[in-house]
Amino acid sequence: MEKLIDKLESLGSPRILLAGDLMLDEYIYGDIERISPEAPVPVLRVVRREDRLGGTGNVGLALRALNANVDCVGVVGNDAMGQRATGLLKDAGISCDSLVTVDDRPTIVKTRFVGLAQHRHQQQVLRVDTEDVHALTAATTKQLQSLVIAKLKGASLLAIEDYGKGLVDDNTPKLIAAARKMGIPVVVDPHPNQDFTRYRGATLVTPNRYEAELATGIKITSDATAEKAAEAIIKNFGIDNVLITLDKEGCYVKQGSKPGAKIPTRPRTIYDVTGAGDVVMAMVSLGLAEDCDLELTAALANVAGGLEVERFGVVPVSREEIVDELRKMIGLRRSKVMPRDRLAAELQRRRRMGESVVFTNGCFDLLHMGHVAYLQQAREKGSLLVVAINSDDSIRKLKGPGRPIIPEDERAKMLAALEWIDYVTVFDEDTPEALLELLRPDILVKGGSTDVIVGQDFVESYGGVVERLDMVKGRSTTDIINKIVEGNGNG
């Protein structure tokens, strides 16, 4: 898992050329409180409406959430919905100067009616599709092909989304060949009702189980049958690699003539499968654009797709969310004790999410109520709290050979057990100055009555805040130790 985190965080922001069927998803939300007296159907009282990108546009949003740059090639109708879809693309930072507006077909719109029944979570009750999927005219097809060829220059990858709405056709192998000739990998998300020969030459296709079964006639019930189906796709259709998504089982990856491998995923509570395949396509495209190993990319795609099915509707999954999920899976968030280098990387990631870092330090030998109250106050100063503790050697230098009473690993674990502490790290130096220079906290907090707060000048030099908190009177480790010694003497 740590390897996956490191790989994801190392990926750049490649430019991906995205071609496919663009749609607009219209959501109409309302309350369902009764059955119509006219027919045995629920009555939806409209509360609000919402427009979202669909089809290829949804893949574009998923790529943007993963920090990729996206050029979108497709068609929209000469209508209000086409203008709306174009506006949403621009708002997301997706280049849409290669969209072609046509007069002979409307913008594809999927209208979903979503109701709330008996105070339960929202649920789709009906979908209405507005579309015309006849073949594009020869002139429109030629224009789109020219746009793809022109946009390939400077692209890191060509992603093709086939929803069976007419944009991806029998001429597609020519575009794939043009990209491969320029050294640009091509990923295709296929449509179940299409002949896979139109994807000939692709670097990778990403069918789901059903699509792979239709393309090959092989029922996928095991790793062995998945291997046979993947092998058939590669041999029969001239495709380099295959990634077959297997819903709750994860996915099966086969690279050329090498034996395939099943990449498992953890079980999920499925709320809505809408958009999961698009998120997987986006993660795979990003990985291949950055020359990432396909099996590693597939493992990341499993996580991204798993997060998507736990949400209602299509909600793009960010890199930060995938990293958070991976950390939960390996328990790093529960075991909060980290070495300084990994902590620095973690804080940098949390800052990108808009969080502020509070830092404090001390020996924290014999954790007591004074410490607890102080750390609670410190946590309230920002989004997350980092506690740095002196190592055993450092404490011996400061307080003598009789200290610490509790060794550093136990002190760190006890602090980590407090819910308001986010991270704990250990330093060997006499002071935390080097640690402050590495972590650069937003807020430095210190308790006690000392006139000098170590690191104050440095933190304030880059705009950080330094705050002094009062310690609980009558509560100190030294007092507790003295009482124990006195008690032993009187016994």
Identify the band that residue 268 occupies on the pLDDT scale cut at 50, 70 and 90.
Answer: very low
pLDDT of residue 270: 42
Integer CA distances (angstroms), 239 to 138, 279, 422, in order: 27, 22, 47
Residue 7 has pLDDT above 80, yes or no: no
Percent of the chain clearing pLDDT 70 (strictly above): 88
pLDDT tens for residues 190-245? 998 778 999 999 999 999 999 999 999 999 999 999 999 999 999 999 999 999 99
335 inside domain: no
How far is Cα 191 from Cα 168, in angstroms, rounded to an integer? 10
pLDDT of residue 182: 96
Q: Which residue has the higher pLDDT, 347 or 194?
A: 347
pTM attached to this predicted model: 0.67
What angle in degrees, to the nearest 10, is found between the helix axes of 276-289 and 56-65?
Answer: 60
- Does 380 lie in the same domain as 239? no
8 Å CB contact between 360 and 385: yes
Is position 291 annotated as part of the catalytic site? no
- Does 398 lie in the same domain as 292? no
- Does 306 lie in the same domain as 437? no
- Does 464 lie in the same domain as 372? yes
pLDDT of residue 60: 95
- Does 313 lie in the same domain as 350? no
pLDDT of residue 331: 58
Number of other residues whose CB lies within 10 A of the CB of residue 296: 15
- Does 324 lie in the same domain as 202? yes
Displacement of CA 158 from its chain's centroid (Å): 21
CATH, residue 454: 3.40.50.620
Among the ranges 119-123, 217-221, 465-469, 471-475, which has the highest mean pLDDT value?
217-221
- Does 241 lie in the same domain as 118? yes
- Does 307 lie in the same domain as 365? no
Domain boundary among 330, 362, 384: 330
Q: Which residue has the higher pLDDT, 249 or 328?
A: 249
- Does 344 lie in the same domain as 274? no
153 inside domain: yes
What's the rounded mean pLDDT across residues 40-55?
A: 91
pLDDT of residue 224: 96
Among the ranges 30-39, 326-335, 471-480, which has the highest mean pLDDT value?
30-39
Give Dmax (Cα) for the chain.
101
What contacts 450, CB < 8 A, 6 or more positions away?
none
Residue 258 has pLDDT above 70, yes or no: yes
Identify the band that residue 306 occupies on the pLDDT scale cut at 50, 70 and 90.
Answer: confident
pLDDT of residue 325: 74
320 inside domain: yes
CATH, residue 39: 3.40.1190.20
- Does 478 lie in the same domain as 367? yes
- Does 185 lie in the same domain as 79? yes
Domain boundary among 330, 354, 378: 330
How far is Cα 423 from Cα 357, in angstroms, rounded to an integer? 10
- The residue among 247, 254, 202 whose CA lies nearest residue 228 is 254
| Token pair in block for residue 36 | 């119509």
pLDDT tens for residues 307-333? 765 555 556 787 877 877 777 766 555
Residue 486 has pLDDT above 70, yes or no: no
Q: Give me the residue label for tokens 């819903």.
A: 247
Q: Which residue has the higher pLDDT, 417 or 326?
A: 417
400 inside domain: yes
8 Å CB contact between 115 and 44: yes
Residue 488 has pLDDT above 80, yes or no: no
Residue 355 has pLDDT above 50, yes or no: yes
99 inside domain: yes
- The residue among 277, 247, 240, 283 whose CA lies nearest residue 262 is 247
- Does 215 lie in the same domain as 95? yes
pLDDT of residue 373: 87
Residue 162 has pLDDT above 90, yes or no: yes
| Domain of 69, in residue numbers | 2-330
Domain boundary among 330, 350, 376: 330
295 inside domain: yes
Number of folded domains in the chain? 2
Q: Which residue has the higher pLDDT, 104 or 369?
A: 104
Q: Which of 21, 278, 365, 442 is catalytic?
A: 278
150 inside domain: yes
How far is Cα 416 from Cα 386, in angstroms, rounded to an integer? 10
Residue 118 has pLDDT above 90, yes or no: no
| Token pair in block for residue 324 | 């958070």
pLDDT of residue 345: 84
396 inside domain: yes
